[in-house]
Amino acid sequence: MKTAASLIAVLGLATAANAGGSLSALSLGTLSAGGAVSGSTIGATDDLAGADGFVLGGTWTGGDDVWSLDWAGGDMTASLAFTTATGDIDLYVWGDDGATVLLGASEGTGDLEEVELLGLAAGKYFIMIDGWLGDENDYDLSISGIPSPASAALLGLGGLVATRRRRA
């Protein structure tokens, strides 16, 4: 049942109109590649659902968290670990501050939600965690990935410059 409702809701999410807010204003902090954070939607406000909400509605009525992601480019995986028996939460990756471009969603019923995006361009993205049917939970969110060739080359060049300076 959740799968059918999720499919209908995700179709609505991708075209949902912004009710006048921004994900930046709701962000709890900024993550980058290799970043991880522990958080909790318990007691969090439901800024992203309902008639007064930002974009979501329907069955995503639990407290929600938003994290900004500064991405250098390349393949990216966002992983959300939690205990489903305590409350079912879902994971979304948005491509814009207005939450009108949904890049990926994970709405399973297990203890791990993952969104993998291949060849993601460098830029600012938003990770959102929201509860199913009012659920809330503690979680561990991690961002991992493989930098794009251009980003990897810049990292390598930076390391070479740092090495050269130490020897001088």
Residue 46 is predicted with a pLDDT of 84
Residue 90 is predicted with a pLDDT of 93
Token pair belonging to 102: 């949904």
The bridge status of strand 123-131 relative to strand 89-94 is antiparallel
Residue 147 is predicted with a pLDDT of 64
0.85 exceeded by pTM: no
Residue 94 is predicted with a pLDDT of 93
Tally of CA atoms within 13 A in the half-sphere of 30 that contains its CB = 8
The domains found in the chain, sorted by start residue, are 2-167 (2.60.120.380)
Nearest Cα to Cα of residue 110 among 138, 135, 82: 82
Residue 116 is predicted with a pLDDT of 96
User: What does the pLDDT profile of the chain (168 residues) look like in tens digits?
Assistant: 454 344 334 434 433 334 447 899 999 999 999 999 999 999 998 887 644 455 555 667 888 999 999 999 999 999 999 999 999 999 999 999 988 899 999 999 999 999 999 999 999 999 999 998 889 999 999 999 976 665 444 444 444 444 444 444
First-residue to last-residue Cα distance in the chain: 65
Residue 142 in contact with residue 132, Cβ under 8 Å? Answer: no
Contacts of 153 (CB under 8 A, 6+ apart): none
